[in-house]
A = this chain, B = another copy of it.
């Protein structure tokens, strides 16, 4: 059994394991051994492939973002109109996969870690900008630049807030979370339409 071409397999297994471990514990307080163990390899191998825990974590965040982006792109492509684009983004944010206990807990842990690790901060800022621009792509045609900006900002904050509340175990269920954000958007748009008439 040739042991060739293992690198991509191991890297994937390790970043998945890192997210899993961090999500399970709800904090960065996981050891390389934990992570490597979950991936079925030795801690030394994790180092071999990533150089340091720092790098492995950063790569894991990147993987999470890639995943989220792919989901968002797919959902946007399927959206029939501007309004549907906005709903698509919201739906992805609260999909079973993204809004699972584990992934939410991992996100929150990464947010905190961003304070210490600039690279993580950079990556999360990218996510924040992308969420904003995704929302804007649907809202701008409906509300105009300035109002869209305000509505998107509010929706984004609400989404992040619902994540934090979920992590605390105090937030609404998946379905209600979607309703809350949709309601915010709908009410804002409705008010806008009324005024501009």
Residue ranges of A at the interface with B (Cβ–Cβ < 8 Å): 25-29, 105, 108-109, 111-116, 121, 124-125, 128-129, 150, 153-154, 156-165, 167-172, 176, 180, 183-184, 187-188, 190-191, 194
Q: How far is the CA of A162 from the CA of B159 in the complex (A)?
A: 10
Query: Which residues of chain B have C-beta atoms less than 8 A from A153's C-beta?
Result: 172, 176, 180
* Cβ–Cβ < 8 Å partners of A188 in chain B: 187
Q: Are A113 and B150 in contact (CB under 8 A)?
A: no
Chain B residues, Cβ within 8 Å of A125: 168-170
CA distance A167 to B121 in the complex (A): 10
Pull 21 A–B residue pairs with CB atoms less than 8 Å apart, ordered by A. Answer: A25-B116, A26-B114, A26-B116, A27-B112, A27-B113, A109-B112, A111-B167, A112-B112, A114-B167, A114-B168, A115-B167, A124-B170, A125-B169, A150-B183, A156-B161, A157-B161, A160-B164, A163-B164, A164-B164, A187-B191, A191-B191
Contact residues in B for A164 (Cβ distance below 8 Å): 111, 160-161, 163-164
Shortest C-beta distance, A188 to chain B (Å), equals 6
A157-B158 contact, Cβ under 8 Å, with A112-B109, A114-B168, A168-B121? yes
Minimum C-beta distance from A147 to chain B (A) = 10
